[in-house]
């Protein structure tokens, strides 16, 4: 995504030094990602080595957006400034002197772009959000501690307020998010943050939408097993499952019944066959298992009536080749008498 940049120093250092001011005034307010990114950049600066946003993301198993958010955070804190070219590509990171908050001086440490053999695509510029007034919410923190079974630390509290203020999640959605993560055994707040960002990017803004998205994904593996398919669902297969559950509104019991009938009928293209069954039920207004039973009975009566009508049709011989032979009018008695006379 970004080109590689070299972080330079003005003096030779054999180790990485960290100011006490950073520890005293900046450390407690930064989250894990922001701290790791800053310390790693400091280390690279001391070694005079090149790095990039993608390198940082790979190093700590973050997304590139996570890294960009961390860089933006330190720029706002005045501990670094970022340079971009006309195409929006990151070309420099200027590390600032660490001084008491609100008094960061201009750059004495700077970086220059390193030459790159491969031209990487320019990043999409992130629009800066307007400042959101922070609102303390001790009740929400109390609820979070109940879900996670422990007292939250400073960074975890910051994560919750980040989700509330920056991602603009409602209290109900935050409550469902925390419950969702805790019930899945994911009590790492880095996972909570990434899940929240994922929901935000998908436009999920209510607990109902989040619940539906979670259920669709969870049910996908059940549907795959019912169809006798062992692979992980592809995006195309997920689109089928999503339509069955969200657009058609079918419960898992109905979808499972369609899968059962599919398995009994065919070994090939089971997903398409199952989809045809479900579309037929949807077109006929099926909502419950009783509706399916009634539809089966109706279909059975129509078939029986058609079979009965066919059985009662008279047999026509007009077009049978056997009946087209010219009929003989032999007199067998006369022939017999002639034979006896001879």
How confident is the model at residue 242, as a pLDDT?
82
User: Residues 16-22: contacts with CB within 8 Å, 24+ apart?
Assistant: 16/42, 16/43, 16/46, 17/46, 18/42, 19/98, 21/98, 21/99, 21/100, 22/79, 22/98
How confident is the model at residue 260, as a pLDDT?
95
| Rounded alpha-carbon distances, angstroms, from residue 315 to 101, 103, 319, 320 | 102, 104, 11, 10
How confident is the model at residue 309, as a pLDDT?
65
- In a 13 Å sphere around the CA of 50, the CA atoms on its Cβ side amount to 12
**Tokens describing residue 146:** 């109940």
Point out which residues pair with 243 in neighbouring strands.
Answer: none
- In a 13 Å sphere around the CA of 274, the CA atoms on its Cβ side amount to 27
How confident is the model at residue 14, as a pLDDT?
59
Question: Among 301, 228, 221, which Cα is nearest to 265's?
Answer: 228
pLDDT < 50 stretches in the chain: 1, 9-12, 103-121, 124-130
All domains of the chain in start order, with CATH: 5-113 (1.10.10.10), 138-205 (1.10.10), 218-296 (1.10.10)
Q: What is the pLDDT of residues 62-83, one digit of tens each?
A: 888 888 888 988 888 888 888 8
How confident is the model at residue 107, as a pLDDT?
41
* Whole-angstrom distance, CA of residue 162 vs CA of residue 33: 13
Q: What is the pLDDT of residues 80-102, one digit of tens each?
A: 888 877 777 777 888 888 888 75
Question: Among 76, 105, 109, which Cα is nearest to 93's?
Answer: 109
**What is the 8-class DSSP label of residue 323?**
G
Residues in the chain: 342
């Amino acid at each position: 995504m970004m080109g590689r940049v070299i972080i330079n120093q003005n003096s030779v250092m054999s180790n990485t030094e960290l100011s006490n001011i950073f520890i005293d005034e900046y450390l407690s307010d930064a989250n894990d990602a922001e701290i790791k990114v800053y310390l790693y950049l400091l280390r690279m600066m001391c070694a005079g080595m090149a790095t990039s946003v993608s390198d940082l993301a790979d190093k700590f198993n973050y997304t590139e957006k996570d890294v960009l958010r961390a860089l933006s955070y330190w720029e706002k804190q005045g501990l670094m400034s970022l340079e971009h070219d006309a195409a929006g590509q990151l070309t420099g990171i200027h590390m600032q002197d660490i001084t008491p908050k609100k008094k960061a001086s201009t750059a004495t440490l700077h970086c220059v772009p390193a030459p790159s053999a491969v031209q990487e695509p320019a990043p999409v510029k992130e629009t800066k959000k307007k400042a959101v007034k922070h609102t303390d919410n001790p009740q929400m923190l109390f609820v979070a501690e109940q879900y996670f079974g422990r007292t939250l630390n400073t960074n975890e509290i910051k994560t919750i307020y980040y989700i509330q203020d920056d991602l603009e999640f409602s209290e109900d959605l935050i409550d469902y998010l925390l419950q969702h993560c805790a019930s899945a055994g994911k009590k790492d707040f880095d996972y909570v943050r990434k899940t929240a960002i994922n929901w935000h990017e998908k436009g999920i803004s209510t607990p109902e939408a989040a619940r539906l998205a979670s259920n669709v994904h969870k049910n996908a593996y059940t549907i795959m097993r019912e169809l006798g398919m062992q692979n992980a669902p592809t995006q195309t297969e997920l689109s089928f499952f999503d339509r069955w559950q969200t657009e058609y509104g079918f419960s898992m019991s109905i979808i499972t019944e369609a899968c059962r009938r599919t398995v009994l009928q065919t070994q090939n293209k089971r997903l398409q066959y199952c989809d045809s069954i479900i579309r037929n039920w949807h077109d006929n207004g099926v909502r419950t298992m009783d509706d399916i039973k009634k539809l089966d009975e109706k279909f059975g009566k129509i078939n029986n009536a058609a079979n009965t009508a066919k059985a009662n049709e008279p047999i026509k011989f007009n077009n049978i080749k056997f009946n087209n032979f010219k009929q003989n009018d032999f007199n067998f008695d006369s022939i017999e008498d002639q034979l006896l006379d001879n």
